[in-house]
Structure 1
């Protein structure tokens, strides 16, 4: 599947390209990647970047970059992960330094969640969190995610939030 471009009120979620690697690598090498298992070296970052792109061919979903409409500046990434490292389809996001607290993760996450429910036809998504990642868990709660203690985490200590299909989020992008 060709990655879509999804527009929201303030954002454009667009396919990843080579020009995105430098900012992505900077984020992944920084202490900000701690809740994702990082910081990561160049090879690990390259593998994750390529995986986010390849998922589109394998599963029909993957990573999209988040650009602000106002200035076309890339502020982060949102994606749906799957494969042998993920027990279920996972909605995830990351924001580059300086773009937190603006609602971008919530807006992008809601748009991709709704696209997944409406276009992919899936009935549930999860997000896996390090127990100390309170900011991202708050985003998940704003997206309608609820803690699912029965779900298998990606890692042993993960807190898993589940996003059920509802009439409010089905096909509303």
Structure 2
């Protein structure tokens, strides 16, 4: 499977590389990862990072790193998760500390969502949220996601937003 590179007006979404792991591991070890089940130690962060890459071979989708075109700085990750831990294909994102509030998550997630609907012909995607993760739920709403209280949950207590193709 060839991992695609997607471009938006401000961002390049590209395949993960080894030099992306230190910043990823730092985020996963921090209190900011609480909404993803963290904080995680280095070993678990490595497993999560490898999961994100392996999904491309196993399912034809996975994680892409988010680079800002103007600076070349990697500001986070966006991905489509699946496998035995996810009842449905999940659109997810994370931003590294200091890069929130610039619209990067919305722009990256919109590009990957649209790619998934047009290239993979998916009928739907979901995002799973901790009920206290209001900022990410706001991103989901900006993406056109609607709350789906009937969706199967990844973890008990999750809030689920659903996306459908608009075309």
Range class of TM-score, shorter chain: over 0.9
Q: CA RMSD in A?
A: 0.4
TM-score when scaled to structure 2?
0.99
Equivalent pairs counted in the alignment come to 167
Stretches of structure 1 that go unaligned for 5 or more consecutive residues are: 168-173
Q: Counterparts in 2 of 1:95-106, with a 5 A limit?
A: 95-106=95-106
Question: Residue 171 of structure 1 corresponds to which residue in structure 2?
Answer: none
Query: Which structure 2 residues correspond to residues 17-166 of structure 1 after superposition, within 5 A?
Result: 17-166=17-166
Q: What CA distance in whole angstroms lies between the structure 2 residues aligned with 1:64 and 1:29?
A: 20
TM-score, normalised by the number of residues in structure 1: 0.96
**Residues in 1 aligned to 2:134 and 2:109: alpha-carbon distance in whole angstroms:** 16
Q: Which runs of 4+ in 1 moved over 4 A?
A: none
Q: Distance in 2 between matches of 1:51 and 1:35?
A: 18
Report how far residue 31 of structure 1 moved: 0.4
Task: Deviation per CA, 1:40-93: give whole Å up to 9, x if none.
Answer: 001110000000000000000000000000010000000000000000000000
Cα separation, 2, equivalents of 1:72 and 1:153: 36
Deviation at 1:138, TM superposition (A): 0.1
